[in-house]
């Protein structure tokens, strides 16, 4: 039996798509190998969000080929869409597939029914077509969360119509397209039938879900209302643009036992001038009001924020404004990204490049702020009873065995290993902060 190893870089959407590819390989009778093991085929689903992501893709391809020169290498994803020539320059890459071609991979492998006939190509074959107009097909995808069967990512949307000045994603994935609501529900049912307890809705711009059927435009709220009717324990929205987080969604999250009290909202900059240069679709006043409203409506809500530091022209004062703005908000954690120059974006043409050392320093400062926010947020729940969906076993450096899980509002909880708790929701008292990163909990049912 021929074997295939797949590896994913980047966003949850990529993870869901890689999982779908893995299922397709299994259906063709191939054995799935772990990344790092020798295999007959290797598939890398790439990301291109930063320069580092591109570099990591190249390093992975070279390292796989060093250890296994005979493996048939397929590279797809955003980096393949945007820079196929760079990838083709790496000796040993056989097939490069763009975004549209990704989930039609088998159309580009000869003799699909007999993968034993796959031989290395004398030179890279490239199939990259222009991405996505409105009428372009969108293929559904869903996946397991890394190696557990606890949480699954469900793709409901792809592409983006926004024009943030630093971002290449619309070039790599096309305009916003949404999966028909009935297909979303069908895929959700398959996830539930496989035993998953939590569905995480993903897309490039998930909040922009819009699908017109029978004269009605279905939006994210309609997806949530449909999923709420299913036999699923939890539904989580992976990330939502602030201008798309509607009152309807907030009040459904407030009233629902299934939709998680957790929002991940990209801010990107807390300085008004930089935010304008980024071409985001809101201002700071709107953002503050939104966060305050969410917290008043849902007091225990977990709120994570994306922020980019080192955008062209960001002075010490601009950065301080961002710091102060974030510090003043009652949020639970930050995801901090260092600005990375991307070809063909507006931002790359802007003056005022911030030097790399300064970008590192600013990232560090915001990561410390994030740790403080997380500590404050987690502390509020010490001594309280929370429902935790337990998933992975983890081993710490001292060799102690734990199970980790998440509360509805995204507090990470650890408990001493008890396999009976895996892939289930248990009510536990959170009784001990374990450093800043996690809450260690001793069970007291």
Closest CA to 245 of 268, 262, 269: 262
Closest CA to 274 of 162, 160, 164, 163: 164
Compare residues 9 and 169 and give the one whose CB is closer to ligand SF4: 169
> Among 106, 127, 162, 282, which residue sits at the site for ligand SF4 (rule: CB under 6 A)?
162
Q: DSSP secondary-structure letter at 34?
A: P
> Is position 160 an interface residue for ligand SF4 (rule: CB under 6 A)?
yes
- Minimum CB distance to ligand SF4, residue 47 (Å): 12
> Among 4, 21, 22, 167, which residue sits at the site for ligand SF4 (rule: CB under 6 A)?
167
Compare residues 203 and 302 and give the one whose CB is closer to ligand SF4: 203
> Is position 169 an interface residue for ligand SF4 (rule: CB under 6 A)?
yes
Stretch that binds ligand SF4, among 165-173, 218-226, 312-320, 424-432 (CB under 6 A): 165-173
Tokens of 28: 């063709």
Compare residues 261 and 340 and give the one whose CB is closer to ligand SF4: 340
- Minimum CB distance to ligand SF4, residue 204 (Å): 5
Tokens of 26: 């299994």
Tokens of 39: 């295999």
Stretch that binds ligand SF4, among 159-167, 282-290, 332-340, 424-432 (CB under 6 A): 159-167
> Is position 305 an interface residue for ligand SF4 (rule: CB under 6 A)?
no
> Is position 265 an interface residue for ligand SF4 (rule: CB under 6 A)?
no
> Is position 237 an interface residue for ligand SF4 (rule: CB under 6 A)?
no
Window 191-230: contact mask with ligand SF4 (x via CB under 6 A): -------------xx-------------------------
Compute how many other C-beta atoms are within 10 angstroms of the C-beta atom of residue 235.
21
> Among 5, 41, 57, 164, which residue sits at the site for ligand SF4 (rule: CB under 6 A)?
164
89 Cβ neighbours under 8 A, 6+ residues apart: none
Binding-residue total with ligand SF4 (CB under 6 A):
9
Q: DSSP secondary-structure letter at 259?
A: B
Distance linking the first and last C-alpha atoms of the chain = 47
- Report the distance separating Cα 102 and Cα 150, nearest Å: 26
> Among 77, 92, 132, 170, which residue sits at the site for ligand SF4 (rule: CB under 6 A)?
170
114 Cβ neighbours under 8 A, 6+ residues apart: none
Tokens of 51: 């320069």
- Minimum CB distance to ligand SF4, residue 272 (Å): 18
Stretch that binds ligand SF4, among 24-32, 156-164, 326-334, 429-437 (CB under 6 A): 156-164
- Minimum CB distance to ligand SF4, residue 18 (Å): 19
Q: Which residues of 237-252 are buried (b: 16+ CB within 10 A; e: fewer)?
A: bbbbbbebbeeebbeb
Give Cα 202 distance to the centre of its chain.
7
Q: Which runs of E-coded beta strand occur in 34-71?
A: 41-46
Stretch that binds ligand SF4, among 40-48, 157-165, 185-193, 436-444 (CB under 6 A): 157-165
- Report the distance separating Cα 235 and Cα 350, nearest Å: 40
Closest CA to 71 of 96, 45, 43: 43
Stretch that binds ligand SF4, among 98-106, 161-169, 348-356, 412-420 (CB under 6 A): 161-169
Stretch that binds ligand SF4, among 14-22, 84-92, 133-141, 167-175 (CB under 6 A): 167-175
Distances (CA, A) of 64 to 39, 91, 124: 10, 12, 16
366 by Cβ neighbours in 10 Å (0-12 / 13-18 / 19+) ranks as buried
The position carrying tokens 């006043």 is 285
Compare residues 171 and 253 and give the one whose CB is closer to ligand SF4: 171
Contact positions vs ligand SF4 (CB under 6 A)? 160, 162, 164, 167, 169-170, 204-205, 241
């Amino acid at each position: 039996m021929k074997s295939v190893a797949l590896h994913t870089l980047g966003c949850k959407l990529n993870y869901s798509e890689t999982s779908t590819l893995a299922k397709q390989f299994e259906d063709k009778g191939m054995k799935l190998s772990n990344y790092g093991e020798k295999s007959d085929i290797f598939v890398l689903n790439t990301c291109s969000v930063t320069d580092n992501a591109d570099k990591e893709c190249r390093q992975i391809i070279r390292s796989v080929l060093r250890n296994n020169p005979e493996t048939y290498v397929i590279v797809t994803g955003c980096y393949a869409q945007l820079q196929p020539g760079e990838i083709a320059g790496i000796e040993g890459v056989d097939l490069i597939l763009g975004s549209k071609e990704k989930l039609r991979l088998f159309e580009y492998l000869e003799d699909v029914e007999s993968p034993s006939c796959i031989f290395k190509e004398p030179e890279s074959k490239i199939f990259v077509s222009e991405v996505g107009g409105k009428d372009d097909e969108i293929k559904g995808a869903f996946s397991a969360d890394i190696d557990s069967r606890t949480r699954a990512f469900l793709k409901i949307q792809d592409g983006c119509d926004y024009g943030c000045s630093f971002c290449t994603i619309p070039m790599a994935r096309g305009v916003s397209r949404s999966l028909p609501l009935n297909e979303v529900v069908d895929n959700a049912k398959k996830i539930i039938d496989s035993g998953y307890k939590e569905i995480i809705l993903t897309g490039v711009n998930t909040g922009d879900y819009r699908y017109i059927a029978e004269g009605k435009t279905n939006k994210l709220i309609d997806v949530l209302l449909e999923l709420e009717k299913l036999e699923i324990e939890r539904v989580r929205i992976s990330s939502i643009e602030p201008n798309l987080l509607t009152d309807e969604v907030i009040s459904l999250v407030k009233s629902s036992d299934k939709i998680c009290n957790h929002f991940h909202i990209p801010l990107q900059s807390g300085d008004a001038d930089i935010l304008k240069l980024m071409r985001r679709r809101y201002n700071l006043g709107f953002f503050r009001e939104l966060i305050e409203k969410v917290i008043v409506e849902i007091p225990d809500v977990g709120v994570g924020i994306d922020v980019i530091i080192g955008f062209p022209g960001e002075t010490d004062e601009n950065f301080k404004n961002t710091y102060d703005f974030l510090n003043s908000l009652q949020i639970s954690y930050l995801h901090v990204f260092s600005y990375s120059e991307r070809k063909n974006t507006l931002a790359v043409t802007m003056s005022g490049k911030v030097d790399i050392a300064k970008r590192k320093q600013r990232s560090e400062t915001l990561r410390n702020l994030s740790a403080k926010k997380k500590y404050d947020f987690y502390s509020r729940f010490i001594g309280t009873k929370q429902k935790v969906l337990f998933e992975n076993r983890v081993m710490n450096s001292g060799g102690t065995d734990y199970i980790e899980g998440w509360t509805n509002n995204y507090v990470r909880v650890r408990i001493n290993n008890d396999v009976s708790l895996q892939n289930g929701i248990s009510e536990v008292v959170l009784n001990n902060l374990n450093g800043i990163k996690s809450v260690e909990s001793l069970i007291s049912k």
